[in-house]
Amino acid sequence: MKAAIAGASGYSGEELVRLLLRHPRAELAAVTSRQYAGQSLARVFPKFGNDPRAKTLCFTEPDPELLAKTADVVFLALPHGVAAGYAAPLLHLGCQVIDLSADFRLKSPARYKEFYGKDHPAPDLLSKAVYGLPEARRAEIKNASLIASPGCYPTSILLPLLPLLKTGLIQSAGIIADSLSGLSGAGRKAELDYLFVECNESARPYGIPKHRHLSEIEEQLTLAADRPVVIQFSPHLIPLNRGILTTLYLAPAKPFQNESQMAAFGDQITRCFQAAYAGEPFVRLLEAPALPDTKNVAGTNVIEIAWRLDPRTGRLIVLSALDNITKGASGQAVQSMNILRGFAETDGLC
């Protein structure tokens, strides 16, 4: 199977290159970048210099017809708003498309406009797209032609929350999510806010109270809970290259009044997470005293999840850690490709 990456010179594109060069069942057949067109992968990314394929494969201008001639599956690692313009012709030319941008993650063009500030560039395709969260939508991904790979913050919030909402163990109102993100989440671009001196020794919130990712988070939570879910979400930038740590503050559906009720609720939470994820290769459920740590997932497709009950506040606290570029973007997209093409889900990812 031949794969191509549009936008291979960005952070998620580079991670796709790393994963696809070593993939046992996929051949990396094309990579695009406007600024590096004509240069080899090995020249632009010296870290791949020992790979024979990286020495010969050169970046090309992003041209859907050329991509469709070269590849069966095309990954779009492009900015939102740009990706949709490539998805439509690629689908028309018979490719399977895995989009890492936000262009196809929402079902409603109006909601896209509300959060992304412009009309959706290809509204007709929204109903065709499958939200590519493998642990939640494996069967749909298998039959998709257009996969909308979830955002990094959404993955860190949805994987812990979906089973809890589906089983009705927590209240769907009043959910609070605090997330800390490394700087690669902002993309590989030169902007004042992301210069080393601005970010090093700094931790700062942004996008409060209405970050764009709320749109897909709330859409997916609403589907899981079968009622409208609105959450409070506070993202922060921290001086880390890659990684997201999320803390969720949740109210049990039935408040616990004493220690034995708390212990019984704790057993239900454990059973809920085990039922959802015990067999999942990329979800690591941590047992106390362990807590999630971005350094334990960096460069991997794994999300770590742990939880605690607070007897003083009556809250359930759930924590997760993932690599925003791998499980939060490119690793998850390759996981979806594996499902789509009938490969082992772990191919190229372990």
Ligand X SMILES: NC(=O)c1ccc[n+]([C@@H]2O[C@H](COP(=O)([O-])OP(=O)(O)OC[C@H]3O[C@@H](n4cnc5c(N)ncnc54)[C@H](OP(=O)(O)O)[C@@H]3O)[C@@H](O)[C@H]2O)c1
Write down the least CB distance from residue 302 to ligand X, Å.
Answer: 16
Tell me the residue nearest to ligand X as measured from the CB.
10
Of all helices (H) and strands (E), which one includes residue 239?
none
Write down the least CB distance from residue 55 to ligand X, Å.
Answer: 20
- Distance (Å, whole) CA 294 – CA 283: 14
Distance CA 203, CA 158 (A): 24
Give me the residues paired with residue 204 across strands: 237
| Tokens (6 digits) for 180 | 């800390």
Return residues touching ligand X (CB under 6 A): 7-13, 33-36, 62, 77-80, 82, 100-102, 151-152, 184-185, 187-189, 324-325, 328-329
Q: Judge contact between 75 and 333, C-beta under 8 A.
A: yes
DSSP per residue over 45-97, as a string? Answer: -GGGTT-HHHHH-BEE---HHHHHHH-SEEEE-S-TTTHHHHHHHHHHTT-EE
**In the complex, what is the shortest distance from the CB of residue 64 to ligand X, in angstroms, rounded to a whole number?**
11
Given the complex with ligand X, which of 34 and 69 has the nearer CB atom?
34
Q: Which residue has the tokens 């549009």?
A: 6
The 303-310 sheet, strands edge to edge? 204-205, 232-237, 176-181, 244-250, 315-322, 303-310, 283-285
| 350 classed as catalytic | no
Nearer to ligand X, 82 or 285 (CB): 82
Neighbouring C-beta atoms of residue 125, cutoff 10 Å: 20
Our CB check for ligand X shows the closer of 100 and 169 to be 100
Catalytic residue among 95, 152, 199, 272: 152
Q: Nearest distance from residue 11's CB to ligand X, in Å?
A: 4
Phi and psi at residue 335, in whole multiples of 5°? -60, -45
Closest CB 211 distance from ligand X, rounded Å: 12
- Output 184 or 336, the one with its CB closest to ligand X: 184
The pairing of beta strand 244-250 with beta strand 315-322: antiparallel
Nearer to ligand X by C-beta: 81 or 314?
81
Q: Which residues carry out catalysis?
A: 152
